[in-house]
Amino acid sequence: MADYRELWESLDMDLEKHDKLCEVLPEFYGDIYLTQENRPESMNYFNFVVSEIHGLRIKELAELKDDGKKVVGSFCIFVPDEITMAAGAVGIGLCGGSDFWIPDGEKYLPRNMCPLIKASVGAKTSGTCPYFQSADLLVGETTCDGKKKAWEILEEHVPMHVMDLPQMKRKKDKDAWTDEMKIYKDEVEKLTGEEVTKEKLDESIKLVNKKRKVLQRLYNARKSLNLPISGKDALLITQISFYDDTERFIEKTTEVCEELERRIEEGVNVFKEDTPRILITGTPMAVPNWKIHHLIESNGGAVVCEETCTGSRVLEGLVDENRETLDGQMEALSERYLGINCACFTPNEGRIDDIVRLYKEYNADGVIYNSLSFCHTYAVEYKKVKEALEKEGIPVMMIESDYSLQDAGQITTRLEAFFEMIENNKSKEEVATTK
């Protein structure tokens, strides 16, 4: 990475502490990503993005800000990028995925709290995340209790807007969410001084849909029985979609898709034949949280799909591009976003349907239910998901974990047993069909 110290200083960062963070990431990434065999060549762009994670993109954001643009940071896929863009602002995802930020988060929050929230608060309060330092406005949402209360702490450090997300999906909730979209529109307009017109929203709806479509194309390649890409690499691409320049991201991910489609034709498989195919479901994995994928893929499994907010929930479902008025567009946005099946909703049967559907579409052999520690909504929802999957004869295992690697050995043992069980089931099925 080039020398960005002057830039980081201008963002009022704690440089000494930040140096420590910069020291660990390259080795961590190298061990997890660069040791993989037979990676698609087009992943080089994403290697480069990670190598410049606190550099080049931050420089681009600084240049945009010099030209008068505003940067809006968010923590949830319910925050509509389309509106942010149509108001002339740049949206970036800010969820903290590193253990590095936990001690600073714990200075403000109880220890028995979800690591995503602690790391997000720690990233801001430690002054070591240049993305946080670049944001002119943070947008929170009323999803889980932990997040709701964390906004009250973050707003002491940076301007904050909170979107009131309903927790049910009735007509009155949809109307309320449409209203929230309008309030958010007014808020970003105030920030940028630019009006959101129907034409601008038309453009941003099409652009964000295009980004979803390229991610859908990437995910489609993972349905192939010969897997042309690892789950780790696919996860990385989705994670980078949260803060890369949208047009460039679409172009670079299209290149990956083209290569993967060629690989499928040629029968390239980055895993050994008969590797158990795993669908992951649960809480989001913010960069650089690659823990569960890495453990699965270094211990005999392959991740073929994620029913998470860094997976299918962010890329499925397009916003209707054919509304004729600004109000109609707001309703279309509200409808698409309320289609996301987050465990903060009650009831949330749609998520179970999604998991079963994705399991079949991706030819999975088992489901790993991954919940960040102390995430009550996802932990409680496991019971219903497990019952439904067992009824379908789908093997499922739950992992509850944080960002530390202390439990890696224990998780590995459980994964090995789970994969063995899947393999035994498969052999029994084969015997039954040959009889």
Residues that bind ligand BJ8 (CB under 6 A): 76-78, 114, 116-117, 143-144, 146-147, 283-284, 309, 340, 342, 344, 372, 375, 377-378
Residue among 162 and 421 whose Cβ is closer to ligand BJ8: 162
Beta carbon nearer to ligand BJ8, 253 or 348: 348
Residue 324 C-beta: closest distance to ligand BJ8, Å: 29
The nearest distance, CB 72 to ligand BJ8, in angstroms, is 16
Least distance in Å: CB of 41 to ligand BJ8? 32
* Separation CA 98–CA 77 (nearest Å): 19
Classify residue 222 by burial, with Cβ atoms within 10 Å: 0-12, 13-18, 19+.
buried
**Strands, DSSP E only, in 47-136?**
71-74, 90-93
Q: Min. distance of Cβ 115 from ligand BJ8 in angstroms?
A: 8
| Residue 147 vs 232, nearer CB to ligand BJ8 | 147
The sheet carrying 160-163 orders its strands as 90-93, 71-74, 137-141, 160-163
Residue 346 to residue 229: CA distance in whole angstroms: 35
Query: Which of 84, 29, 95, 113 minimizes the C-alpha distance to 372?
Result: 113
Q: How far is the CB of 123 from ligand BJ8 (least distance, A)?
A: 14
Nearer to ligand BJ8, 263 or 291 (CB): 291
Nearest to ligand BJ8 of 168, 417 (CB atom): 168
Q: Which is nearer to ligand BJ8, 86 or 372 (CB)?
A: 372
CA 279 to the chain's CA centroid: 15
**Residue 276 near residue 301 (C-beta atoms within 8 A):** yes
- Pseudo-torsion of CA 247, 252, 256, 259, nearest 10°? 110
* Rounded least distance, CB 291 to ligand BJ8, Å: 14
CA distance 215 to 131: 23
Cα 284 from Cα 94, distance rounded (Å): 12
